[in-house]
Amino acid sequence: MTASTGSDKIRIGVFDSGFGGLTVLRALLPQIPTAEYFYLGDTARLPYGSKSQATVARYAVESAQLLESYGADYLVIACNTASALALDAIRAAAHVPVLGVIETGADSAAAASTTRDVLVLATQATVDSHAYARACATHGLRSIEKACPLLVPLIEEGWIDSPVTRQVLRIYLEQAQAEATSAGMALDTVLLGCTHYPLLRGLLRESLPKDMTILDSAESTAQRVRRQLRSLKSLPEGTTDTGDTNIPVCHFFATDSVDKFRTLGSRFLGRPIEQVELIDLGG
């Protein structure tokens, strides 16, 4: 490939309320290594998952505008709650293409499910919005949406392998299964509708029947971004993106403690985060 100069590079803004969206960035880097990335975690105001639609929309629009002000040509809303509650508001406020993670998650569920009955695990706000149920329905999928409010705190506490987390998961999954049974549904696919949940993939694998497929939207989102940028001619056909050994340039921004972002964020990104800039969104 030809190395891109700074001015050629497409600038991709990735937004989340916190650290979970770094799993989406992680999937993007090998897909589009020629891009320059701007990641914003609105850590001063997280979690979004327990807040109202109006508040989440206000926060998400401010965050998207900040990324645009840094020159982002394309925005990925890597936060399920913001994608579920605020995608229309962000698109109305933005001047660049905006992609959320709900649609891409539903796409991958549609590709994976044989029974056409899908379980979506998500935050309370995402579940209340029924955005996943609607997105799944466009593919002819039925879905059970199960709110799991304790999983994010357990993950942030680092209790990834704890018996407590196992017990909480068991309770949530049993409640979801009971709901599915009474609705006559045969779940064969679990969609992780929160960017924190992939860190519980191991525990979920143990807790679920062997033939259940577990999906998260990070990978399908990254592929969709690549396809869209190609179709928009923003990504030159000539570049061979996958397998590039260059490390893309990433800029990190947070609205609360940059130290905490470096520490927790590195766990989600799967590689060290060196520099984080503290941003004031006025909130």
Residues that bind a copy of itself (CB under 8 A): 43-45, 50-52, 55, 149-150, 152-154, 156-157, 159, 163-164, 167-168, 171, 255-257, 260, 281-283
For the beta carbon of residue 153, count every other beta carbon within 10 angstroms.
12
- In the complex with a copy of itself, the residue whose CB is nearer, 51 or 142, is 51
3-class state of residue 65 by DSSP:
helix
Q: Which amino acid type is present at position 126?
A: T
Of 136, 148, 194, 250, which is the active-site residue? 194
CB of 76 to a copy of itself, least distance (A): 24
Contact 203, 155 (CB under 8 A): no
- In the complex with a copy of itself, the residue whose CB is nearer, 44 or 96, is 44
How, if at all, do strands 276-278 and 213-216 pair?
A: unpaired
CB of 142 to a copy of itself, least distance (A): 26
Contact 120, 143 (CB under 8 A): yes
79 an active-site residue?
yes
CB of 59 to a copy of itself, least distance (A): 8
Widest CA span in the chain: 58
Please classify residue 242 by burial: count the beta carbons closer than 10 Å to its beta carbon, then call 0-12 exposed, 13-18 middle and 19+ buried: exposed
194 an active-site residue?
yes
CB of 179 to a copy of itself, least distance (A): 18
Q: Phi first, then psi: what are they for 195, rounded to 5°?
A: -70, -10
- In the complex with a copy of itself, the residue whose CB is nearer, 52 or 240, is 52
- In the complex with a copy of itself, the residue whose CB is nearer, 154 or 218, is 154
Catalytic residues: 79, 194
